[in-house]
């Protein structure tokens, strides 16, 4: 079992920046991929970015060039640097750790979620 603790959410104006952090504990050796997903009201939870243990990154088209995912394996922590934020980025952001990822992935372990609100 993997436990995930998220932090860094908040309220920011259009064009601002936030950095989300997710610290993993427990059976960390089972983790092959860590990722960030988000869910806006009335919509499905969707992939934002993912990073594999080898460092390969994947991004949703909507965030490419604005968001950066990184992983510190020594600290068992994944980060999401979010720049040039837009109101459409407003959502609850969830950290995930598991053996894979997809646009609507439901497997692995999940964090509690952190609210990101971008005002216009």
Return d(Cα 65, Cα 56) in angstroms, integer: 16
pLDDT digits (tens, 9 = 90+) for 15-36: 999 999 999 999 998 899 999 9
Name the H helices within the chain: none
Return d(Cα 69, Cα 38) in angstroms, integer: 14
pLDDT digits (tens, 9 = 90+) for 72-105: 988 999 999 999 999 999 999 999 999 999 999 9
> Shortest CA distance to 117 belongs to which of 15, 11, 39?
11
């Amino acid at each position: 079992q993997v436990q995930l603790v998220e932090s860094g959410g908040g309220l920011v104006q259009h064009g601002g920046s936030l950095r989300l952090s997710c610290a993993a504990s427990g059976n960390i050796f089972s983790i092959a991929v860590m990722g960030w997903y988000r869910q806006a009201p009335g919509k499905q939870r969707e992939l934002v970015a993912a990073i594999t243990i080898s460092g390969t990154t994947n991004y949703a088209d909507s965030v490419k060039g604005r968001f950066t995912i990184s992983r510190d394996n020594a600290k068992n922590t994944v980060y999401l640097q979010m720049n040039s934020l837009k109101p459409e980025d407003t959502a609850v952001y969830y950290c995930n750790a598991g053996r894979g990822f997809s646009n609507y992935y439901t497997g692995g372990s999940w964090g509690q979620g952190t609210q990101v609100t971008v005002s216009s």
